[in-house]
Each structure stands twice: as structure tokens, then as C-alpha cells.
Amino acid sequence: MAPEDWRNDTRASYDTVATSYADLVRDALTNDAYLRATLDLFAALLPPGARVADVGCGPGHITAYLHAAGVDAFGIDLSPAMVDLARTTHPALAFEVGDMTGLDLPAASLDGVIAFWSLIHIPDDLVPQVLAHFHRVLRPGGRLLLGFHVGDAHRLKTEGYGGHPMRVHVHLRPPAKVTAWLEEAGFTVEAQHLLDLAAKTPGAAVFARR
């Protein structure tokens, strides 16, 4: 796979499925008390009016939830179609096209960063680069929340969200591997918990501090 193929494939795939994906996740938070509690805890750890980037924001549902919790949240996504949809759905919030492997934000400009099930598409060799960007843009004491699929495998997803064609690489990772990356990037890992233990692919949330 050429170096840029995964990025181009991911962008094109989520451009294709943007509307169907938004339909799927519209009620995700309403129907999952544990996911809401995870976001509520993240918001509670932040200072009042905290500036937070939702990196890999998709249709903006997480950004909007954090905003409703009193967080000054904005969204960044690789897919222009996702960003357009987020702007239409949540016109009062800010969304922009961006790439977490080259996060174009000033150093020490944020109180928090959240990447909820977006790091799963980043190749292993680029994860340290992404975490270095997260560390760079956070102020000292800033908070990071990662959500991801748990496992120790990689698969190529060729169809999804209503049967649309896709080509995205999905990386399942053990929490210990993710926490090790975080510590190497200079973060202090403060907590982690597992989600959807009965699911075929459980999830994990890891809280860290710069």
C-alpha cells in the first residue's frame, strides 16, 4: 500500500457513507448511558468554557454533546462530506476539514482533545505522530480522551453503513498498547474502562493528561 493510499481511501469512503453513517449514529448517545457517562466525565474534568477539538468528528454528534455540556468544542474531520453534514446539522458550531497526522492547530491552544473511534483508521507507525500532535496542541494539564475498538487485529472494511462500498483499514488494539504509546508521547494515563463487553468488538476509553 502506497503511503497516501490509506488516507485517500479513508477520505473517499467516508465521503461516500456520510449520510448513512450520520443516520446510524444519530441516537447512539441517547441509547448508551455508558458512552454518555464517558463524555460527561471528560467534560467534568475540563475547566469552565474549555476549548476542545473533536478530532475525527464525523457528523458532529459528539461535538454537539460536549457543547451542550458547556464545552467550547469544535470538530475536525478528514472527510469534506462529513464536515459539510456536520455544519448543516449543527450550524451554531464550527467544523473544519483536517488531518490528525498533521494537525494544523497552534501549540498549547487547547484544553482538551477527543478522538472517539477515529484513531482506528491510522496505521500503527503513524499513531505516535498523531499523539505527538495531540500533546503539542494541548496546554499543560490539558485532557485527552481516546475511544477505540479493542482487540489485536487489522481488517480491511470494504462495505458498510447501508451497503455502500468502502475501503478503510480498521485497527483493533489492546488498551495496553495504546497506553504505552500515550506514555511515550509524554502523557500521563489517568484512567481507562471497557465498553460493550458483550459485543463482537468491545470498545475502550482512555483518559490521559498532558
Q: DSSP 3-state assignment of 33? A: helix
User: pLDDT tens, position by position, for the chain (210 residues)?
Assistant: 445 689 999 999 999 999 988 888 888 899 899 999 999 999 999 999 999 999 999 999 999 999 999 999 999 999 999 999 999 999 999 999 999 999 999 999 999 999 999 999 999 999 999 999 999 999 999 999 999 999 999 998 888 787 888 898 999 999 999 999 999 999 999 999 999 988 888 999 999 999
User: What pLDDT score does 200 carry?
Assistant: 87
User: What pLDDT score does 1 carry?
Assistant: 45
User: What pLDDT score does 4 carry?
Assistant: 65
Q: Which CATH superfamily is domain 5-209 in?
A: Vaccinia Virus protein VP39 (3.40.50.150)
User: What pLDDT score does 31 carry?
Assistant: 87
Contact in structure between 100 and 56 (CB atoms under 8 Å): yes
User: What pLDDT score does 158 carry?
Assistant: 86
Residue 68 CA, chain-centre distance (Å), reads: 18
Q: What stretch of H or E contains 164?
A: strand 164-172
What are the residue boundaries of the structural domains of the chain, listed by start? 5-209
- Burial class (CB within 10 angstroms; exposed 0-12, middle 13-18, buried 19+) of 169: middle
Residues 6+ apart with CB under 8 A from 33: none
The DSSP output letter for 103 is -
The DSSP output letter for 121 is G
User: Which of 22, 20, 128, 1 has the alpha carbon at shortest distance from 75?
Assistant: 22
122 vs 88: CA distance, rounded Å: 27
Q: What stretch of H or E contains 179?
A: helix 175-184
116 vs 56: CA distance, rounded Å: 7
